[in-house]
Amino acid sequence: MQAGDVQAASGASDLARRYRVDRPVVADEFIAGELVVIHFDTGTYHGIRGSGVGVWQLLDAGLSLGELLAELAVRHSGVDAAAVAAVLEFVAGLERQRLIVPCADAGSIEVASGASRSGASRSGVSGSGVSGSGVSQGAPFVAPELDTRDDLRDFLVLDPIHDVDERGWPNATADA
């Protein structure tokens, strides 16, 4: 997808906008193929999967929305108008959940190294073989997923061994 196509697909979105992860009220870690995030003030727990992991890391590295979309188009095949819309909606979801906040300064942009200040670069409990990034060069685009669990208490009282399915906590069994 060309840069002009990205602009066209993004509609009226401000592609120059940049965000930062709202630390320290937000903490994150890359575990078991997904990014796990907690917002301490709202008490919500989130699991981020698919291209959402890469989007998070690129936002955290200081890329603007436009730069992020262009980078995704380089990294993935199949980044079409629907993919752009899905990414923008995902970013809007992150902002609604108060996980990211707009920022005025550019920050450091290190696309090549994939550098990120997030905990996503520290932990590598990954089944994908791609430790820390969740983004593989040339891999087909997978829509970003944001799995939000509002009532943390319900999930913390789950027995993390016996009340969960084969995917593990916080995925409860039907009768839990």
Task: Concatenate the DSSP letters of all residues of 58-102 into one string.
Answer: HHHTT-BHHHHHHHHHHHEE---HHHHHHHHHHHHHHHHTTSEEE
Decide: is 8 part of the binding site for another protein (CB under 8 A). no
Q: In what order do the strands lie in the sheet with 26-31?
A: 26-31, 34-39, 44-49, 145-149
Decide: is 175 part of the binding site for another protein (CB under 8 A). no
Decide: is 107 part of the binding site for another protein (CB under 8 A). no
The b/e string for 124-139 (b: 16+ C-beta within 10 A; e otherwise) is: eebeeebebbbbeeeb
Quick one: which of 7, 13, 42, 126 contacts another protein (CB under 8 A)?
126
Decide: is 25 part of the binding site for another protein (CB under 8 A). yes
Identify which range of 24-32, 50-58, 76-84, 86-94 contacts another protein by CB under 8 A.
24-32
Decide: is 127 part of the binding site for another protein (CB under 8 A). yes
Q: Which of 4, 5, 16 is nearest to 82 (CA)?
A: 5
x-or-dash string of contact with another protein, 43-82, rule CB under 8 A = --x-x-----------------------------------
Decide: is 4 part of the binding site for another protein (CB under 8 A). no
Contacts of 129 (CB under 8 A, 6+ apart): none
Cα 55–164–40 angle (5° rounding)? 50
Decide: is 40 part of the binding site for another protein (CB under 8 A). yes
Smallest distance, another protein to C-beta of residue 56, A: 16
Quick one: which of 15, 38, 130, 139 contacts another protein (CB under 8 A)?
38
Q: What is the DSSP letter of 157?
A: S
Residues found near another protein in the complex (CB under 8 A) = 23-25, 27, 29, 31-33, 36, 38, 40, 45, 47, 122-127, 152-153, 156, 160-162, 164, 166-171
